[in-house]
């Protein structure tokens, strides 16, 4: 603590020093209807605003960081019931966990991810303070934020660790809530897919003034989403996704005679070893969600205002979980008694009985148990209260405390216990008392099925902070204006606990593997400061020139003391052109899964039998002929073409994953440089172009088997390649085990451009009407991922596949995305046409020539205020019913639902009434 206190003195000194030497913010155009705008216009002089990216609130403040904003009108035009309904249209939000992310461990949550940099590197804020995380990551379930309460969403890209703390590496998503609402408003919304599937719900919001000294807003939302199965989408057919025969294949060990049953139940001596029931697998899981929230503020005295929020969300969903939907199965030899009551003559004639019993090898799916299903209920609570007010006319103070808790319980159905209470094999013990011959044997479900009391996850977060901000105008001003500042202190404590059922801890299930239980906690004490210095104004070529800086000192009880900082500048040349730039040091500390998680495992063969896991393994290069011959011989691999390396039997061991107590924080630098063009000769036109670079070293992550194997045998086939040890081999050369524990990897480096433009035309010859054009695009010029400091970096821009996924969540890394729109504006409504484009990508698998063409989808939406009380919005989304692109390998149901639309044409509407 001595070091921390000394550094605190240094922070105060630095703040004072900066008063003679960056935090800028930016406003969004309140009339903008496009999904994201980076509007350069400053507010009118004399108005104080609070903006994303700084704690300084000064009149006329503009941003040196790119901030893309989505306003309330755009949310209405998307008939949005959840954040996903509009966030997927923002080019910088690359993917993350969505409604189609089957097999994830998010269980009904939506997780945002900026720039394909990993879901834990995007910080989610609510009115400028941290949202409550769930699970074991730093991620926030943004579905816990009521869509009806959202006034604006700001996406700040380029990092913001010095202002908001750790995790804001790729940027910040800040949800601004409507705490000024007055009246009573009810709404109902629905989004109906013409190909099957629906989402619907409603909300009610009440706001009232508390005299003339405050306001209270209470809102309640309900959302329900129907399940969609793979069979409801023609592109999702997976004929090669087979499971062991649902009727069973039986081999008499003594004679070798084989028999079985078709899927329809007919006896046959030439049975098929497999069945395909993938049409019944879920594409989108059902969801029920209730949100209740209250926002309040009240002026106790002219110097003290109390404010805060309380938010509660209950979410219930059914998903496939980590092992995927594939039913449990058995494969082994059992003893069939000669007096077994279920033996027909056909079966008896195939068996050889010795001393009253026949030894029979059984290969059979236990489809009677149903698909593997994780039924999860999550409760998320966050409460906040604070006090704020003026210290002087130009300086304000703010102190708050908030507490968040996420708890969830998951019940696993469709699985069973491999061994019974006495330790005997469960299936072997019932083969003579339950009919195991043929499909749809009801007795199997009751004899083998066991609801597994899954796991419980709990995550707590406590934050308290105090800030002093404003300007030094009452003391002195520079010739160009007063100096703005913000200084403060923050304390944050986080805990996580994950408890597992005994069967999961021991691995005594058919499909779950070994799942570890663990708990952890950390806390951090922080000091921070910002300063904004107006250097020059009203000079030739310098209408206004500001520079600024910020510094945050963080003392972690587990990860040591670290400093993050930023410097930035904002140069308005004239009314037409403004230049801006930032340079920042950013930091992210490991989340609980990364530093506290125990070692869990799944059968390695799941990587070829579970659709969701297939991107993590692409076969043995030594067998398929793409590997270096000398390296393959060095490690004793089978010869080219000698076996099938994608068969389950080739992966004989386990896939081990989990935390690493030796992980250290990841650090990096982010840079942005841009220009804002607002030509006076073309009123209503705005253009921003920002170049950015995200450079993160020691990035925490895992190296999936496909990346390790490719590096070892294809791209860096040297004896000392450390990645070779991550996938081991058996004596016969087949793969044994894979080790994918979290570790500090090499480097993530991305460069690119954000471009935003809008033009609103209103003329006398368009009475009461206007036209608005908008464009928001992201261009990635380079994206390098270096898995280990001893191996070369991989260029990942414009690719798809697990080789180039920084954390295994988002598997598509396009080098171009945009949303463009044209809108007709009326006094009481708008008609909007939007075009989303995701650029062409190529497979990141070495040797593959597969590509996915650029994808274009179009939306047509409108909103109209019929009366002062009634407004209706409606839209057709994915207007041309464009299917997602098909990929031969590495996808989920032949595509990538974390990036591309899988619903097809959807019709949405929202009807709201306010009194």
> How far is Cα 101 from Cα 115, in angstroms, rounded to an integer?
18
Residue 94 pLDDT exceeds 80: no
% of the chain at pLDDT higher than 70: 93
Average pLDDT over residues 647-651: 92
pLDDT of residue 11: 37
Give the containing element (helix H, strand E) for 496: strand 484-500
Residue 6 pLDDT exceeds 60: no
> How far is Cα 60 from Cα 62, in angstroms, rounded to an integer?
6
pLDDT in tens, 859-911: 999 999 999 899 999 999 999 999 999 998 778 888 988 899 999 999 999 99
H helical segments located in 596-704 = 606-609, 621-624, 629-634
pLDDT in tens, 496-530: 999 999 999 999 999 998 999 989 999 999 999 99
pLDDT of residue 83: 84
pLDDT of residue 23: 31
Quick check: 839 and 798 in contact, CB under 8 A? yes
pLDDT of residue 793: 86
pLDDT of residue 840: 97
> How far is Cα 525 from Cα 25, in angstroms, rounded to an integer?
25
% of the chain at pLDDT higher than 90: 67
pLDDT in tens, 732-784: 999 999 998 888 888 899 999 999 999 998 766 667 788 999 999 999 999 99
Q: Is 380 helix (H, G, I), strand (E, B) or coil?
A: strand
Return the minimum-mean-pLDDT range out of 153-157, 327-331, 478-482, 607-611.
607-611
pLDDT of residue 593: 86
Q: If 0-12 CB within 10 Å is exposed, 13-18 middle and 19+ buried, where does residue 447 land?
A: buried
pLDDT of residue 400: 98
Instruction: Please state the length of the chain.
Output: 915
* Half-sphere exposure (Cβ direction) of 600: Cα atoms closer than 13 Å: 22
Average pLDDT over residues 371-387: 96
Residue 351 pLDDT exceeds 80: yes
Confidence of residue 50 (pLDDT cuts 50, 70, 90): low
Average pLDDT over residues 424-439: 95
The structure tokens listed for 792 are 């070369």
pLDDT of residue 754: 94
Residue 81 pLDDT exceeds 50: yes
pLDDT in tens, 684-737: 999 999 999 999 998 888 888 988 999 999 989 999 898 999 999 999 999 999
The structure tokens listed for 439 are 């499909």
Nearest to 592 by CA among 497, 668, 493, 491: 497
Confidence of residue 5 (pLDDT cuts 50, 70, 90): very low
pLDDT of residue 703: 84
Residue 247 pLDDT exceeds 90: yes
pLDDT of residue 765: 63
Give the containing element (helix H, strand E) for 336: strand 329-337
pLDDT of residue 33: 35
Confidence of residue 808 (pLDDT cuts 50, 70, 90): low
Nearest to 683 by CA among 754, 756, 763: 763
The structure tokens listed for 274 are 């497999």
> How far is Cα 824 from Cα 812, in angstroms, rounded to an integer?
34
The structure tokens listed for 887 are 């990929």
pLDDT of residue 746: 81
The top-scoring range by mean pLDDT among 199-208, 510-519, 591-600 is: 199-208
The structure tokens listed for 561 are 């003391």
CA 641: distance to chain centroid?
A: 39
Confidence of residue 415 (pLDDT cuts 50, 70, 90): very high
Q: What is the DSSP string of 64-82?
A: SS-EEEEEHHHHHHTT-SS
Residue 553 pLDDT exceeds 50: yes
> How far is Cα 428 from Cα 409, in angstroms, rounded to an integer?
32
pLDDT of residue 49: 53
Residue 162 pLDDT exceeds 80: yes
CA 235: distance to chain centroid?
A: 24
pLDDT of residue 597: 86
Mean residue pLDDT of the chain comes to: 89
Nearest to 892 by CA among 233, 146, 82, 62: 233
Q: If 0-12 CB within 10 Å is exposed, 13-18 middle and 19+ buried, where does residue 684 land?
A: middle
pLDDT of residue 26: 33
Q: What is the DSSP string of 689-709?
A: EEEEEEEEES-EE---HHHHH
Residue ranges of domains in the chain, CATH in brackets: 22-227+285-321+375-413+452-594+664-704+742-914 (2.40.170.20)
């Amino acid at each position: 603590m001595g070091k921390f206190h000394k550094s605190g003195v240094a922070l105060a000194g630095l703040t004072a020093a900066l008063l003679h030497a960056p935090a800028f913010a930016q406003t969004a155009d309140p009339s903008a209807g496009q999904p994201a705008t980076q509007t350069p216009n400053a507010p009118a002089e004399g108005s104080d605003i609070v903006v994303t990216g700084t704690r300084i609130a000064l009149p006329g403040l503009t941003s040196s960081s790119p901030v893309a904003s989505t306003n309330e009108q755009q949310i209405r035009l998307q008939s949005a019931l959840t954040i996903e309904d509009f966030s997927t249209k923002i080019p910088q939000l690359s993917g993350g966990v969505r409604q189609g992310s089957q097999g994830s461990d998010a269980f009904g949550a939506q997780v945002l991810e900026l720039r394909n940099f990993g879901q834990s590197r995007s910080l989610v804020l609510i009115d400028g303070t941290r949202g409550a995380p769930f699970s074991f990551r730093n991620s926030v379930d943004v579905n816990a934020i009521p869509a009806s309460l959202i006034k604006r969403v700001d996406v700040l890209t380029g990092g913001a660790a010095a202002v908001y703390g750790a995790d804001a590496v790729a940027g910040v998503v800040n949800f601004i809530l409507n705490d000024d609402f007055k009246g009573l408003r009810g709404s109902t919304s629905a989004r109906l897919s013409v190909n099957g599937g629906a989402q619907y719900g409603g909300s009610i919001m009440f706001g009232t003034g508390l005299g003339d000294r405050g306001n209270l807003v209470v809102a309640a939302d309900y959302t329900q989403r129907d399940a969609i199965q793979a069979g409801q989408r023609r592109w999702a057919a997976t004929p090669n996704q087979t499971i062991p025969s649902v009727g069973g294949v039986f081999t008499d060990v003594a004679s070798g005679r084989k028999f079985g049953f078709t899927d329809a139940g007919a006896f046959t001596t030439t049975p098929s070893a497999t069945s395909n029931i993938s049409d019944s697998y879920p594409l989108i899981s059902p969801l029920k969600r209730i949100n209740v929230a209250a926002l309040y503020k009240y002026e106790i005295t002219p110097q003290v205002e109390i404010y805060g929020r309380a938010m509660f969300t209950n979410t219930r969903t059914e998903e496939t979980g980590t092992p995927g939907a594939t039913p449990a199965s058995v494969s082994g030899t059992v003893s069939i008694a000669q007096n077994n009551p279920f033996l027909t003559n056909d079966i008896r004639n195939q068996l050889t009985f010795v001393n009253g019993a026949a030894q029979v090898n059984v290969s059979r799916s236990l489809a009677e148990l149903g698909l593997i299903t994780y039924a999860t209920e999550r409760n998320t609570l966050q409460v906040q209260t604070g006090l704020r007010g003026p210290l002087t006319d130009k300086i304000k103070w703010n102190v708050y405390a908030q507490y968040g808790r996420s708890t969830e319980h998951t019940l696993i159905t469709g699985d069973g216990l491999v061994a019974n209470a006495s330790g005997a094999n469960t299936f072997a013990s019932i083969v003579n008392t339950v009919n195991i011959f043929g499909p749809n044997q009801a007795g199997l479900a009751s004899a083998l099925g066991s609801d597994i009391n899954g796991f419980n996850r709990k995550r707590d977060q406590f934050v308290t902070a105090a800030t002093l901000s404003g300007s030094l105008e009452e003391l002195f001003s520079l010739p160009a204006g007063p100096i703005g500042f913000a200084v403060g202190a923050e304390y944050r404590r986080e805990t996580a606990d994950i408890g597992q059922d005994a069967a999961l801890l021991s691995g005594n299930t058919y499909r779950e593997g070994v799942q570890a239980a663990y708990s952890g906690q950390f806390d951090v004490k922080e000091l921070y400061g910002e300063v904004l210095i107006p250097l020059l104004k009203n000079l030739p070529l310098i209408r206004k020139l500001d520079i600024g800086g910020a510094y945050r000192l963080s003392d972690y009880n587990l990860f040591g003391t670290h400093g993050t900082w930023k410097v930035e500048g904002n140069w308005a040349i004239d009314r037409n052109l403004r230049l801006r730039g930032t340079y920042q040091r950013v930091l992210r500390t490991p989340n609980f899964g990364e530093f506290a998680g125990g070692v869990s495992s799944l059968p390695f063969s799941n990587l070829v039998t579970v659709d969701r896991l297939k991107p993590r393994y692409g076969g043995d290069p030594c067998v398929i002929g793409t590997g270096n011959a000398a390296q393959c011989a060095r490690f004793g691999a089978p010869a080219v073409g000698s076996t099938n390396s994608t068969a389950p039997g080739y992966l004989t061991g386990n896939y081990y994953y989990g935390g690493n107590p030796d992980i250290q924080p990841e650090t990096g630098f982010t840079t942005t440089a841009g220009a804002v063009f607002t030509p006076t000769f073309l009123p209503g036109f705005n253009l921003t172009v920002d170049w950015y670079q995200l450079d993160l070293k020691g990035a925490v992550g895992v190296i999936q088997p496909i990346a390790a194997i490719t590096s070892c045998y294809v791209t860096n086939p040297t004896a000392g390649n450390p990645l070779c040890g991550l996938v081991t081999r058996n004596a016969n050369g087949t793969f044994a085990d894979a080790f994918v524990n979290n570790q500090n990897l090499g480097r993530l480096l991305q460069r690119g451009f954000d471009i935003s433009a809008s033009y609103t035309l209103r003329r006398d010859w368009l009475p009461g009407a206007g036209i608005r054009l908008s464009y928001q695009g992201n261009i990635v010029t380079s994206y390098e991922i270096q898995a280990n400091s001893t191996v070369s970096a991989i260029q990942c821009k414009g690719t798809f596949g697990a080789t180039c996924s920084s954390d295994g969540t988002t598997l598509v890394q396009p080098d171009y995305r945009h949303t463009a729109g044209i809108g007709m504006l009326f006094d009481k409504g708008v008609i909007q046409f939007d075009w989303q484009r995701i650029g062409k990508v190529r497979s990141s698998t070495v040797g593959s020539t597969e590509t996915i063409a650029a994808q274009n989808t179009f939306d047509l939406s409108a909103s109209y205020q019929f009366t002062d009380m009634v407004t209706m919005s409606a839209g057709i989304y994915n207007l041309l019913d464009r299917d997602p692109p098909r990929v031969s390998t590495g996808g989920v149901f032949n595509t990538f639902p974390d990036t591309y639309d899988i619903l097809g044409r959807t019709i949405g509407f929202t009807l709201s009434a306010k009194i």
